[in-house]
Amino acid sequence: MEIIKATGIHKTYNPDKIPVHALRGVDLGIEKGEFTAIVGPSGSGKTTLLNIIGGLDTPDKGSIIINNTDISSFKDNEMINFRRDNIGFVFQAYNLIPVLTAKENVEFVMVLQNRNLKERTERAEELLNAVDLGDKMDKRPSELSGGQQQRVAVARALASNPTFVLADEPTANLDSTTTANLLDMMLELNQQEKMTFVFSTHDQRVIDRARRVITLVDGKIV
């Protein structure tokens, strides 16, 4: 069953000045439990496609259906709430909340979901243990290494029990060992929890571990 269905996606930046055609009619379907990498050279439209799938940007043309819900017509707050409950994000620059501890960062999305304290605490601890950061729960991002921060980001992305996780160049700032560990961890979560992961990357190490690779060139899937 496809949990993400993108049909005829077009996106052009600066249409009135110097138009940049980021996506030119992308059709894409992602099924539950996939571990998919969207690859392509810089400027091929990977991040744009990820942003549109994640509801952070809107297509000029085409539709995005997530879990049988067309998100193209959502208003701002509807989209925010939809993202909160359905999509986990892992960013290249980790983007943890600097004033919160690792555990609080993981709890944060669950707080937004109004889940109770006990449930939040148990889930945050479980996830941080799963990403091997059980002993760093009370550390703030500034006290963690890049790899550790990215693992917290993965734990945070999973905390809300999303339908899928979008990861935009998650390994771009990590060294080889940390990248390998992070991918192992994500693959384990994919297999054990049947969590769907969609990456945008041009990191060969990620591409090698992906079960499905979608290649974008000049805004089109090839």
Partner 1 sequence: MKMILSIAWRNIWRNKTRSWVVIGSILVGIWSILFMLSFSYGLITTYVDNTIRYQSSHIQIHNPDWKEDQEVEFTLENTESVLQYINNQSYQSSATQRTLVNGMVRSSRGARGAMIKGIHSEKEGQVSHIDQKIVEGKYFTENKKNEIIIAQKLAERLKLKIRKKLVLQFQNAQGDIVAGSFRIVGLFSTANTLYDESFVMIKQTDLNRLLVLPNASHEIAVFLDNSKELAQVKSDIQNQFPHLLIEDYKEISPDANLYESQMEVSHRIFITIFMLALIFGIINTMLMAVLERNKELGMLMALGMNKTRVFFMIVFETLMLGIIALPFGLILSWLSITYFGKHGVDLSAFSDGMEQFGMSTLIKSYIPTELYFSLSIATVFTALLASIYPAIKAINLKPIEAMRKI
Cα diameter, the chain: 53
Q: Per rule CB under 8 A, is residue 77 in the interface with partner 1?
A: yes
217 binds partner 1 (CB under 8 A): no
DSSP 92: T
Of residues 65, 100, 180, 213, which one binds partner 1 by CB under 8 A? 100
For residue 222 the two structure tokens come to 């090839």
By the rule CB under 8 A, 12 interacts with partner 1: no
Distance CA 28, CA 113 (A): 29
Handedness of CA 77, 158, 170, 99 (dihedral sign): positive
CB of 126 to partner 1, least distance (A): 19
Please, which of residues 128-147 interact with partner 1 by CB under 8 A? Answer: none
Q: Kindly state the smallest distance separating residue 153's Cβ from partner 1, in Å.
A: 10
Taken in order 212, 96, 155, 186, the sign of the CA dihedral is positive
How many CA within 13 A on the CB side of residue 104? 10
Spell out the alpha helix ranges (H) of 6-116: 46-53, 76-86, 102-112
User: Which range touches partner 1 (CB under 8 A), out of 33-41, 65-73, 84-92, 209-217?
Assistant: 84-92
**169: alpha, beta or left? (left if phi > 0; alpha if psi -120 to 50):** left
Stretch that binds partner 1, among 89-97, 127-135, 177-185, 204-212 (CB under 8 A): 89-97
With a CB cutoff of 8 Å and minimum separation 6, the contacts of 81 are: none
Q: Decide whether 84 or 209 has the Cβ nearer to partner 1.
A: 84
Rule CB under 8 A: say whether 122 interacts with partner 1.
no
**Residue 211: CB minimum distance to partner 1, A:** 25
Both structure tokens of 100 = 């919160």
Least gap, CB of 162 to partner 1 (angstroms): 10
Summarize as ranges the residues that interact with partner 1 (CB under 8 A).
47, 51, 54, 56-57, 76-77, 80-81, 83-85, 89, 91-93, 95, 97-100, 104, 107-109, 111-113, 156, 160, 168-169
